[in-house]
Structure 1
């Protein structure tokens, strides 16, 4: 099958012909329709995750997908061939991935029925990004009435987190570099949408006493850590250990990673079904142009960048 993969350690990712994976016990195989580009994929491609996960080559990139169940492994209940699903490739090792014609995923924690309201591109933008947003929300604790700064809010995780935190009563101060991005953040529930270019001044203008917590999805946290009140929290998807955080003597560091669970995926799809959660897709790329999709990641995109596997 066609796949966008790293052939061996240190090699750049490229299109390769690899074997179609077989589902192990507890897994389903999915014929992939679409896959979303995430920071995790960029880090794996650059070799940054070698110390955190076993790498098995050829290593197919991609974590988040939508498609149709193609095969069901032993000990799987609740899924049948032909079911339209979304999910996350989340295993102790890295090998199968979403940027391929087929992938496998753990049925009870990494796959859920895709809402009819979502296109394949939108469905492929919910599993990993949404699980990450829920993990951040859990790390923040009770956000009702609190000022929450979300730095990098126009990305896939940020657009979902803005909605989730606002729905729980948080006063979300969300950053965006463009007028279009800031307007969208306000539509998604942010109380304030500020320009990242002059972040400190913009936040001080709406929160002169500082914020209760900051979420680090982009940029250098030393720039905005002074905005967090003493005893507040910085939650980061980009820093992996407490000692990497600035001002740790007065601010609680909270490094997180978004690992899916069945309950989390069902919560996310339920919110989509009842109209409480919007999934934002910035653009779609053809599978042949997946390298362009990777190159575009993080460059003032609004929502998710999705690759269509045709």
Structure 2
């Protein structure tokens, strides 16, 4: 039997090496057993010829708005699914007409964490489904008790609030036994300059720039904690990658992070509060030197959440949603 054809529109392709691309690539892999899948940057594409495509799945309400509109006009009776990013949920749909139109045209909306539906207008929540992202598990590694190694992962742009990490690094002395690795490309040149200056001024902080995904995962696995400072987030890959590696998370208390880790998680700090982040890092270091009880508690909390981030759960959620539209 011929498989239904599914086109995934993602504004970011492999060269972007960001969360949107990782999501699109993973979904394509998961769905290929059931659908004939292709990944494109925009629809219609070169293979659209009198289109035999059965379903369009678009990532990003604003950046894929032209593709969403074109599909809805060409195929008003064919399924259209829209996956929403953090900038969609917490910025664009509040004021951008093209993003709002995308929401209205889609038959189903996907959000990537359990707080996501609350960001939507109430009238749209019935067509929204939560699909947690997934990754492979990695062994929890033993960590030294001599110092604390923290890692932050995310391209340098305003939504990720790297300034919070820079300020926290400056509040921590080089002799405090806290070492910070920062991974991510400088999408904002001014933030790249700030990262270089922080590294020059603070020997315990290293900006490593963009890194291959496998190397990044290895650094998450080896770290005592993952730091996540975002002020706007749809559902961070790195949080679930840390949880699946046995690495606790210190995260800004924003909806996108609470939707991943749960309202009662013990490792939050107020968004943008560098002093609070520095204090949590010191608490983690002090606990590590005394045997790591506080970090072990955070690790247990992450472990309890990690079942949500298994590939089988993500695949089942996607297939269930698509089956609703058959």
TM-score by length of 2: 0.28
The structure with the largest alpha-carbon Rg is: 2
Higher relative contact order (CA 8 A, sep 6+): 1
> Greater helix percent: which structure?
2
> Greater strand percent: which structure?
1
TM-score by length of 1: 0.29
